[in-house]
Amino acid sequence: MRAAIALAFALLVTKPLIAWAEDQTTTVGPWTIATSSKADKFDSCMMSRSTDDLNASFVRTDDGLLLLLNSPKWRLERGKTYSVSLIAGSRSVDGAQRAFWR
């Protein structure tokens, strides 16, 4: 399952090599941040971090912001909806997300 999610993510953010005008990658603490632009125009930005238990990535494109989470410990059923709580500092957001993978 982990490989399938990684492949789906790679296909989502990968563009043909010719289309990339400039790519920049840097590391800030435990986060890896990669930005890309085409013809001096913003294309996308990805910030990712991995631990033994969790992989987290934030992806920003012209279409919006995407949060991707996966863990080798999770056993999610395809199509089932799961409760999700996102907590950052003193703020939190509750919602639901359907499990999917390719």
- Number of structural domains found in the chain: 1
Tell me how many degrees the CA angle 66-72-25 measures, rounded to the nearest 5.
45
Q: What is the identity of the amino acid at 46?
A: M
pLDDT in tens, 2-13: 544 544 445 455
Residue appearing with tokens 């995407």: 66
Which pLDDT band, with edges at 50, 70 and 90, does 30 fall under? very high
Q: Which domain holds residue 61?
A: 2-98
The pair phi, psi for residue 3, each rounded to 5°, is: -65, -40
- pTM of structure: 0.62
| CA-wise closest residue to 60 among 43, 73, 74 | 43
Q: What digits encode the pLDDT tens for the residues 39-63? A: 878 888 999 999 999 999 999 988 8
pLDDT, residue 34, reads 92
Q: Which band of pLDDT confidence, cut at 50, 70 and 90, is reported for residue 22?
A: low
